[in-house]
Amino acid sequence: METTKTKLLIIGSGPAGYTAALYASRANLQPLVYEGGQPGGQLTQTTEIENFPGYPQGVQGTEMMQHFREQAVRFGADIKSRTISRVDFSRRPFVCVDDKGDIVEAETVIISTGASARYLGLPDEEKYRGMGVSACATCDGFFYRGRNVAVVGGGDTACEEALYLSGIAHKVYLIVRRDVLRASRVMQKRVREKANIEILFNCNTAGLFGNDLLEGAHIIRHKDTPKEEHFDIDIEGFFLAIGHTPNTSIFKEYIDLDAEGYIKVKGNTSHTNVEGVFAAGDCADPRYRQAVVAAGSGCKAAMDAEKFIMLEE
């Protein structure tokens, strides 16, 4: 068992964590970064990214995250491809234990553990991930211009995704498990008024099909009832809009979370309820969940941590 002491520990990677590491390194804080089980975050599961500034021709998600990582390392960030599994924020220095049992004692911590999109659990989702299956219409909708797509979900997020896609795709199926939409009345009205959105009520997705790329979905209407029927829809894009789960469970004993598990920050800062602990990226962002927003929040967190450390010295 080894113990490492650091002024700043960054838990998580992705746009938020790597940007925080870059800014903290340039401020001579010599941050220690634990990348977690998915170095680079959700973007490493995305194929081409076209909406991040500075890449006019687009860029692969893994490549962009590698660029972020290399830039942080260039200025001195110490990055470990390991996971923090337990924390004690009851006193400073904060004590964090990794997946190998080693201990990190940190004067400050930035949490950038992200959030994981919820999937239906179909084997086909993994098969076509990045090849037709996506959890972000804003990120990937452009690739389905003029094509048929489907959105799964019945809440405000699903309706927003369907409306966004309706301006890009030829046709949008909204697959709703129940017989009503859970979205606000305004969102319901907008969806119903869109000519190229077809709502499939009382429907579940049984599977997806296609050769190399997604070509369609198997649908069951009125599942497990006498009225059960099976049919297929021809789609090239399948978007999940059934929510995200923030990766914050190990912090819940100490950090204030909202009802969904997202970290609460103070005002327009990255400060949490624990002095010296900051949050950045999707783990503290239930609304936007965009790479460019996460990167900006990583910058904020590093600057907040730098100021905190300066005032403490």
pLDDT given for residue 139 in this prediction:
82
pLDDT tens per residue, range 151-187: 999 998 899 899 999 999 999 999 999 999 999 899 9
| pLDDT at res. 228 | 97
Q: Which residues are annotated as catalytic?
A: 136, 139-140
The answer to whether 205 touches 122, Cβ cutoff 8 Å, is yes
Grade residue 244 by pLDDT with cuts at 50, 70 and 90.
confident
| pLDDT tens sequence across 204-213 | 999 999 999 9
pTM (two decimals): 0.79
Q: What is the mean pLDDT of the chain?
A: 94
Say if residue 143 is exposed, middle or buried (CB neighbours under 10 Å; 0-12, 13-18, 19+).
middle
Identify the residue whose tokens are 């220095």: 93
Confidence class for position 117, pLDDT limits 50, 70, 90: confident
At CA 73, angle to CA 8 and CA 100, rounded to 5? 60
Of 137, 140, 139, 130, residue with least CA distance to 151:
137
Distance CA 12, CA 59 (A): 22
Looking at residues 236-261, what average pLDDT do you find? 95
d(CA 118, CA 300): 28
pLDDT the model gives residue 47: 66
Burial 149-174 (b: 16+ CB within 10 A, else e): bbbbbbbbbbbbbbbbbbebbebbbb
Phi, psi of 98 (to 5 degrees): -95, 180
Taking CA atoms, 62 is separated from 24, 40, 46, 188, 254, in Å, by 23, 7, 8, 37, 33
Residues 255-271 have a mean pLDDT of: 97
CA dihedral defined by 66, 25, 278, 250, rounded to 10 degrees?
Answer: 50
The DSSP-derived string for the chain is --EEEEEEEEE--HHHHHHHHHHHHHTT---EEE--SSTTGGGGG-SEE-SSTT-TT-EEHHHHHHHHHHHHHHTT-EEES--EEEEE-SSSSEEEEETTS-EEEEEEEEE---EEE-----HHHHHTBTTTEES-HHHHGGGGTTSEEEEE--SHHHHHHHHHHHTTSSEEEEE-SSSS--S-HHHHHHHHH-TTEEEETTEEEEEEE-SSS--EEEEEESTTSTT-EEEEEE-SEEEE-S-EEES-GGGTTTS-B-TTSPBP--TTS-B-SSTTEEE-GGGG-SS---HHHHHHHHHHHHHHHHHHHHHH-
Contact 144, 237 (CB under 8 A): yes
Residue-level pLDDT at 270:
98
